Structure 1
Amino acid sequence: METNRLTREEIFKWCSIPKEELKNQEGLKTKLEIRKDKATVMTELGNMMADEVIEHNRQGIPTKWVLPAGPTDEYDIFVDRVNKERIDLKNLWIFHMDEFLDWEGRPLPVADTYESLEGTMNACFYGRIDNELNVPQEQRIWPRIDNIDYADELCENLGGVDTVWAGIGATGLVAFNEAPRSYCYRLSVEEYAQGKTRIVDLNDDSIIAMSQRSFGCCLDRIPPKAITLGFKVMLSAKRAVYMVATGTWKQTVCRILLFSEPTVEYPVTIIPKYVQDVVLYTTEETIDHPMSHETKGW
């Protein structure tokens, strides 16, 4: 069983590397692509999404993705190309990462509100695609409390997914796969990697982060529970693309995912152990770190 946490010395070392030297370091766990700013990153990613569907359609094979409800800027590019180039999405399967639940573990109303991730995706993604091109309803897979095993079983029947398009949290969450924190039990990396769709309590730091980013740190605005895909679905992927362009908020976790061995303390570090092709797309600001600029010897 995993018992060790990352040491301060390890984290400080990784955070102290100048951004210009990162690609030359030995032992990088992911490929690293640095772009000027968020707009550049998201434009490139939206085009990558469109190109993947076009290529799979050309080959006559389905496209199978895991998608987040944030970040969403890349969807502007993707949707625009779909409508202008008439890209057919009838053979696209989308496993949505997660959905908020209320304090009793029940779904909230589907609406164009922060608390409804399905409503968010309807507004910023599905609702903007021409009907004759759109993803069929039955191929939009949301984790549901009334059929909690459906996504996992369907993913297995489809032979896994092609690409996980993943935002990550400041403490390494992917979807709502957060670090398990309990005095009473612990999980190994291998156990966590086999995690299936489940209901979770959000960690306090995630609630604080989301409330600060969107609601002036009004903690009561953030639902306390969620239903999330586990890593079992996501680790079936051929490729994982991390989309991290939020500046100082993610500077440390980017260093950790580049260098750390797999650890449930930062779940994002588990993905490279199981997915062959993993790449981090980020910005110059996000991949920089203030500790790499500290004056030495004073």
Structure 2
Amino acid sequence: MNFVNTVQGSLLEGFYPAGWDMEAIDRCCSHPPEAITERQSFWHADFNPISCNNVQELNVRMGHEIAMQIKKNREEGRKTALILPAGPMGMYEWAVFFLKEWQISCSHVYGFNMDEWSDGEGNTLPPEHTGSFQYAMEQAFYGPLGDLTVPVEQRHFATLEQLPTYAEKIAALKAEGAELVTIFGIGRVMHIAFWEPQYGGEFSSDQEWKQATHRIGAQLHPLTIEQNAITSFKSRTTLVPCRANTIGPGLFLQSDRIIGGCDGALSRGMQWQGLSLWTTLRHGPSRWIPSSFMPTLPGKLFFLEELAGPLQPGIN
């Protein structure tokens, strides 16, 4: 007795994205924990998932990876375009630490925040609002860097005015030889940024889907709302906006390198991100599962060891 053989006629019938094969997703999650790093045929040769014992280790290793990319490009005289998330967040403290320790100026860095809460018209929270992603980034990364920080004019946020300009600005930077690095987490519904899986139904092919650069006032999946209620709003669903501005695959799939993080463990053996992690690594590319494309790119995906499972009730 499980989801697949009881969903018909239930309140969840039709709730999940139409392109999801729940049996295939379940098969992705059925492997033993030690198998999670086994290479798959669709992975890029330079893509590597890296297990971390705890959140502290994950934060340090992600922060170090971000700082190293910035440092390397600085030393090579190359500009760096970063697509940045407002979560995971612990990595930014360590990125700042290493950059300050090494005294690396970020004057060559261009930051593009991947998403922002918005209303149906694309209007966003004011930057000083403590719930905005811009506020989070200023407090966690740009501000603490002090004199080494990214110039204000090189910081971009997913507002109604700025988000539509990302594609052109990133293309111009890449034409100058800049490296594009996407830093990301994976959503409960396997989104990247707020590019949700149900958008797959609006495109006739994966190729068409890959061209979409952004969306204004995007409708979020109900599970995305609940994920954020749990992880960012202390369970208070009523505070979570139902729409957001977000980049799309037309931008994040251009990445020269990716740095991902999965830290979605709760307390007492509970977690929310294990299925998302396993599906990302094992499903194979599908526009109905945006994160499934990330292993096709060079880079690293850091994850908490406990997310590997086993994903079975009563077994820790």
Pair 89,26 (structure 1): closer, same or farther in 2 beyond 3 Å: closer
Cα separation, 1, equivalents of 2:214 and 2:113: 11
Paired position in structure 2 for 1:37: 54
Secondary structure of 2:312's match? helix
Deviates more, 1:203-212 or 1:158-167: 158-167
Pair 150,24 (structure 1): closer, same or farther in 2 beyond 3 Å: closer
The CA deviation at 1:74 is 0.7
Q: Which has the higher helix share?
A: 1
Pick aligned residue for 1:144 from 155, 159, 166:
159
Conservation of the 8 A alpha-carbon contact between 1:16 and 1:292 = no
Paired position in structure 1 for 2:24: 10
Q: Which amino acid aligns with 1:280?
A: L
Matched residues, number: 287
Paired position in structure 1 for 2:10: none
Cα separation, 2, equivalents of 1:73 and 1:182: 31
The CA deviation at 1:103 is 4.5
Conservation of the 8 A alpha-carbon contact between 1:43 and 1:74 = yes
Secondary structure of 2:303's match? strand
Q: Which amino acid aligns with 1:225?
A: R
Conservation of the 8 A alpha-carbon contact between 1:65 and 1:165 = yes
| Unpaired stretches in structure 1, ≥5 consecutive residues | none
Paired position in structure 1 for 2:206: 189
Pair 271,289 (structure 1): closer, same or farther in 2 beyond 3 Å: same
Q: Which amino acid aligns with 2:247?
A: L
Cα separation, 2, equivalents of 1:26 and 1:49: 25
Pick aligned residue for 1:263 from 252, 273, 286:
286
Deviations 1:166-216 (A, max 9, x none): 111011111111112598x44522222111122112221111221133334
Aligned 1:67-86 pairs, distance under 5 A:
67-86=84-103
Cα separation, 2, equivalents of 1:193 and 1:293: 40
Conservation of the 8 A alpha-carbon contact between 2:156 and 2:162 = no
Cα separation, 1, equivalents of 2:196 and 2:89: 21
What RMSD, in angstroms, separates the aligned Cα atoms of the two structures? 2.4
Deviates more, 1:159-168 or 1:37-46: 159-168
TM-score, normalised with respect to structure 1: 0.88
Deviations 1:130-169 (A, max 9, x none): 13x1101121122231254311101111116432111110
Q: Which amino acid aligns with 1:285?
A: E
Cα separation, 2, equivalents of 1:74 and 1:238: 20
The CA deviation at 1:4 is 7.9
1:125 corresponds to 2:141: yes
Paired position in structure 2 for 1:290: 311
Q: Which amino acid aligns with 1:205?
A: L
Pair 79,8 (structure 1): closer, same or farther in 2 beyond 3 Å: same
Conservation of the 8 A alpha-carbon contact between 1:35 and 1:41 = yes
Conservation of the 8 A alpha-carbon contact between 2:33 and 2:308 = yes
